[in-house]
Amino acid sequence: MIPFRLAPLALAASLAAFAPLRADQPEKDASRLGEITQTVARMLESAHFSRQRLNNEVEPGVTQARKALDRYLELLDYNRLFFTQADIDEFTSKHGEWIHEDILAGNLKPAFEIYDRFISRVEARVAWIGERLEGNFSFEGERTAQINRDKLPWPASEAEADTMWSDRLEAELLQAIIADQAVEETAAKQHDEADTKEAETKESAKVPASPPKRTPVETVSKRYERLLKTLQEENREDQATTFLSALAQSYDPHSEYMSQRALDNFNIQMGLSLVGIGAVLRSDDGYAKIVELVPGGPADRGGKLKVNDRIAAVAQDDEEFEDVVDMKLDRVVERIRGKKGTTVRLQVLPATSPDPSKLEVIVIVRDEVQLKDQQAKAQVIDTMGPDGADTRIGWITLPSFYANMNQRGKPERSTTKDVSALLKRLKKENIEGLIIDLRRDSGGSLDEAIRLTGLFITKGPVVQAKDTDGNINSMADSDPGVLWDGPLIVLMNRLSASASEIFAAALQDYGRGIVVGDEQSFGKGTVQTLIDVQRFMPFFAQAREAGAVKLTIQKFYRIKGGSTQLRGVASDLVLPSLTDQADVGEGSLKNPLGYDEVPARLFTPAGNVAALVPRLRTASAARVAANPEFDYVRQDYDRLVTRIEENAVSLNKKTRLAEIEEEKARREARLAERKQRGTPGLMAREVTLDTVESPELQKVSLDKPPKQSYTEPEKGEDPSAPDEEEPFVDPVRDESLLIMQDYIKMLGPEPVTARAATQDAATP
């Protein structure tokens, strides 16, 4: 038995220091908040794409307003830990039928009553946690704890809640113990190495003093003390903002209410978005979740931090980690930001880890994100086929669909203009095929998606959009010039969204290019606009600063009529990938709009590459089946899916440590196998917008990883040699190059290089 004790005095002081706001306390701005609520509700009813009235039944027995109530409960108790089913039944019975009338009347009393109940439940649970942590934990036996409870019922009783919390607390404590031991072992190893170096050099070698460490019990207890403190610091305006956010999100996941303070912070963050680590965060189940990596930023260049990773703790340089679970998002952002050149360490739960409870430490040096790092770039890649013949392939990486519309003092910069310049240089290099990499491209400018499509087709419709009135507008490319009519592959995954999907869908519908990647793209087929709430309030309203609503106002449709919403763009050739899972994409979000269709547009196909797909798919499938790297992906994917389905973590310390050692051994075995096989030895010549006119292009190795960030070493590893020395492996890239080789051969003996070199095409 391993005893853990915690003096309850600190916890009791924390509970006494912050008295929660009660619903019957006088509120100076109650009228202002009510007016904002009424206005936001009217805006949603009249301007949202769905045009749903709050009292409309959107599901059997469920009105739009009832969905807002349910979403509010989810935002408060996202993992269904604090409320019991009796609480939920009481709320729905008391407010469910009439909540639409309260909202339209600007009455926030139901929201405040629910919030006060939530705080009282958290107070009681945090006190219970303090007492429970005074007990003993054996970390033995075969018991497990549930990881995610967002799809499970609320506890049926207090007794059931206590049992659930006992397991959960033991799991969190065990995780803290394992993480603490790993840190101590690394520090001890570094200390021993410093002593050895001092003995060898006979010089003074001072080992930096370690910062004071929290015990595992303190780590867990502080987490819940901070959660309670954060909740108790929320005023009525904060609580109203949460309820209005729930109201907006009940319509669809991309609609949102931002208070004036949140809107001001958003504008500030937009101005500072190019300084720091270059990551966009969103609060998700108590964690700061990575929703986007700024192209060219330190995190993006490093390659370790991934979209959908969740941040559990943050540390500055060599200081102690600070747990940020359940911390307000703006405070997490403050801790991650910092001066250029300083170091931040993040403890993350990797989205693609087979063990969803395993923490990984990522070290990133803060830097300024250069705009040129976010721009399109290209490579000329010579690949050797089975027959020994070389094939020259152009590769364009497109991080986003961007546009800079002649801002004062800056030259015009746009996706289409940049890709045109790169593609002209690739043609001079006599490429035979072109691959456009849109993996992780979350979209951007609709106009640029249309214009970029025009580089590969003569002219015609590219995308359709339907507004709230049902009006359908077709947007077309009107330039008859074609810059590239040779073999074309668009590479996508489930993180490719919005404008990326419009571009890929159009090329697929025109028969102009082949889509390769995950089974489908993200599936975001909607358009949002940001509207100032004050503009729609009565002239006599008290609210001078009322925030803004981000509203979904349109849906996108392909020229063949189908929406990109939910279904995204289906790949012609599917390759194994860890991102290709149902939990990634529009369908995994709350309250997504549905798929539908509109009439198809008339257009002239630009090719018939679909006829080649069956043969390409057969050849690719044979290679994928024999490729050990794809075998690794399949193994990791199966383990990940199993873990998600099991939704449980062992409470046995020996079992957990054995799982960690097993994962480490698997990684080391793969590294040894890769070294034995050797790398493909792929070389490329890089083309950037700065070098597009250079007579000589710089050679780069495609087998070397980036070095801007690294993963902290585990026990037994050399901390001075992080895993950035491991070969960079991208089996999807390598297989895409082979697919392109097959593609070119299937088109026949006519050399594409001759056609590309002599073509004189107009550019937009």
Secondary structure E strands in 358-439: 360-365, 367-368, 377-384, 390-397, 403-404, 413-414, 433-437
| 687, 697 Cβ separation under 8 angstroms | yes
Strands 698-701 vs 683-687: parallel, antiparallel or unpaired: antiparallel
What is the C-alpha to C-alpha distance for residues 458 and 604, in angstroms, rounded to an integer? Answer: 9
Give the amino acid at 137: F
**Catalytic residue positions?**
498, 509, 524
Q: Are 440 and 309 in contact (CB under 8 A)?
A: no
Q: Which residues contact 209 (CB under 8 A, 6 or more apart)?
A: none
Backbone angles phi, psi at 695, to 5 degrees: -65, -30
Any idea which residue has 């001759």 for tokens? 754
Q: Please, what sign has the CA dihedral across residues 614, 620, 624, 629? A: negative
CB 630 within 8 A of CB 576: yes
The C-alpha atoms of residue 164 and residue 170 are separated, in whole angstroms, by 10
Each as own residue / partner, the long-range contacts of residues 621-630 (CB below 8 Å, 24 or more positions apart, any chain) are: 623/735, 623/738, 624/575, 624/576, 624/735, 627/731, 627/735, 628/673, 628/677, 629/729, 629/731, 629/734, 630/575, 630/576, 630/731, 630/735
Distance CA 477, CA 461 (A): 6
Q: What length is written for the chain?
A: 764
Is 259 within 8 Å of 234 (Cβ atoms)? no
| Buried/exposed 142-175: b ≥16 CB within 10 Å, e otherwise | eebbebebeeeebbeeeeebeebbbbbbbbbbbb
Query: From CA 388, how far away is CA 741, in angstroms rounded?
Result: 12
Q: Which of 497, 510, 411 is nearest to 454 (CA)?
A: 510
The distance from CA 704 to its chain's CA centroid, rounded to whole angstroms, is 25
Nearest Cα to 563, choosing from 542, 534, 592? Answer: 592
667 touches 722 (CB < 8 A) = no
Burial of 439 (0-12, 13-18, 19+ CB in 10 A): buried
Distance in angstroms (rounded) separating the CA atoms of residues 746 and 748: 5
Q: Give every CB contact of residue 204 below 8 A, 6+ residues apart in sequence.
A: 198
Structure token pair of residue 376: 């399109």
Residue type, 28: K
Q: What DSSP string runs through 718-758?
A: -TTS-GGGSPP--HHHHHHHHHHHHHHHHT-SS-HHHHHHH
Dihedral through CA 19, CA 20, CA 25, CA 31, nearest 10? 140
